Structure 1
Amino acid sequence: MTNSNTNMELLRPAQRPGRPQPRFQMLRVIVALMLREISTTYGRSAAGYLWAILEPLAGIAFFSLIFSLIQNRPSLGTIFPLFYATGVLPFMMFNELSVKIAQSIRFSQPFMAYPNVTWVDVILARLILNVLKDLLVYAIVIVSIFVIYNATEQVDMLALLGSVGMITFLAAGVGTLNCYLMTAYPAWERIWAILTRPLFLMSGVFYLYGTMPREAQNVLWYNPLIHIVGQMRHAIYSTYDAAYVSPFYVCALSSVTLFFGVLLLSRHFRLLMEK
């Protein structure tokens, strides 16, 4: 109850009329929304935070065991968990982040009654919080694999940050556009889930883009996650040639979806709140 009251105080507008609004008001609102999500999503016990880290670790360990029984060695390098992690972590980050952003308005709708809380605040709060959480998971998983298996790969931090940046930009664009579509048309959430279900098999999580037939490559190239996963693997494996990766294509697609998402929310936000 104390935490909830504190968050409410941060969201309340200035009490004295005629006085200017508090400095850094937008920052205060975003921080309050982030604190509220932390308390509601992960709870007040350490188990909630621990599960956010253990879930990807357990998934990587399970699939690594399965693939180690099928193949003698992964398609790249010699460590199955590292190969799988470089594919599944970017996919999971995009999928979770885009869904979180898409559900921002519904998640924080009770706070929309406050005059100083806007749809921009709720989207930015979820974006920042979940990017920070995913970066922590990234670091723990990758470092754990390097330590446990005594990996010798030379990590290109600039390329790694480039991959994370592309994930964040793409998730922000797709999530913002879906934020409008899912709020205006609730059936779109189910349709989107069906349409994106094959992405796990089409994003290079289990295979390398270059090993696919030419006809498949011509189609898969238009999947932006193929580029993001390729960039991630190029960052971890210095010998991996990811010449097919096009950051321009990913950023262009992200910009288009973000533009239309912001445009639709700006014009129709009040109508969405009346639904």
Structure 2
Amino acid sequence: MDYAGMVEAAGAAAVLGLGFGTINLVMLPARRSALYEQISASSTARSGVLFLPEPFRDAILYNPLVHIIMWFRSSIYAEYRADGMDKEYVLVFALVCFVLGLTLLTASMRQIWEARV
């Protein structure tokens, strides 16, 4: 088992969770976008699919959670083939989500503060 790979995958998952959590902090309570609610619910629900035919497999690789799952599996099982796994894609996606979440949070601070008071 590759413990360093598992720690890296867990770190990438943590940054991705932090990014999505920050975006959700702004988007969900205010009910700003019904489309966002549908997309966020469906992207997390379909992440752990094991075997898909080729045309669907390419489409699901846009979900960064799929790459994190493959990252974990390849760290645990030496014989696991992580075809299509892209660590850089996960890290860039996670950092973009985090920066976007912080930007939305900063832009919405006045509304959030007024809603609490």
With the shorter chain as reference, the TM-score category is: 0.7 to 0.9
How many positions carry a matched residue from both structures? 114
**1:269–1:246: structure 2 CA closer, same or farther, 3 Å change rule?**
same
How many Å separate the matches in 1 of 2:80 and 2:95?
Answer: 28
Q: Give matches, 1:234-273, under 5 Å.
A: 234-273=74-113
Cα deviation, 1:181-225, whole Å, max 9, x if unaligned, reads: 124x23658962x4324633x3235x2xxx422101110110111
2:47 paired residue number: 203
2:56 paired residue number: 216
Q: Which has the higher contact order (CA 8 A, sep 6+)?
A: 2
How many Å separate the matches in 2 of 1:176 and 1:237?
Answer: 33
- Alignment pair present for 1:186 and 2:31: yes
Task: Give the percent of matched residue pairs that are identical in Structure 1 and Structure 2.
Answer: 26
How many Å separate the matches in 2 of 1:191 and 1:266?
Answer: 19
What code does the residue aligned with 1:176 have?
A: T
1:176 paired residue number: 22
How many Å separate the matches in 2 of 1:252 and 1:221?
Answer: 14
What code does the residue aligned with 1:217 have?
A: R
Secondary structure of the residue aligned to 2:28 is helix
Cα deviation, 1:116-170, whole Å, max 9, x if unaligned, reads: xxxxxxxxxxxxxxxxxxxxxxxxxxxxxxxxxxxxxxx2101111110111011
How many Å separate the matches in 2 of 1:191 and 1:267?
Answer: 18
How many Å separate the matches in 1 of 2:17 and 2:34?
Answer: 15
Gaps of 5+ in 2: none
2:2 paired residue number: 156
How many Å separate the matches in 1 of 2:75 and 2:88?
Answer: 18
Shift of 1:256: 1.4
How many Å separate the matches in 1 of 2:36 and 2:107?
Answer: 24
Shift of 1:248: 0.9
1:67 paired residue number: none
Q: 8 Å contact 2:6–2:76 — kept in the other structure? A: yes
TM-score normalised by L of structure 2: 0.83
How many Å separate the matches in 2 of 1:204 and 1:251?
Answer: 19
TM-score normalised by L of structure 1: 0.38
Gaps of 5+ in 1: 1-154
What code does the residue aligned with 2:44 have?
A: L
Q: 8 Å contact 2:43–2:63 — kept in the other structure? A: no
Give the RMSD, CA atoms, in angstroms.
2.2
2:11 paired residue number: 165
Larger radius of gyration: 1
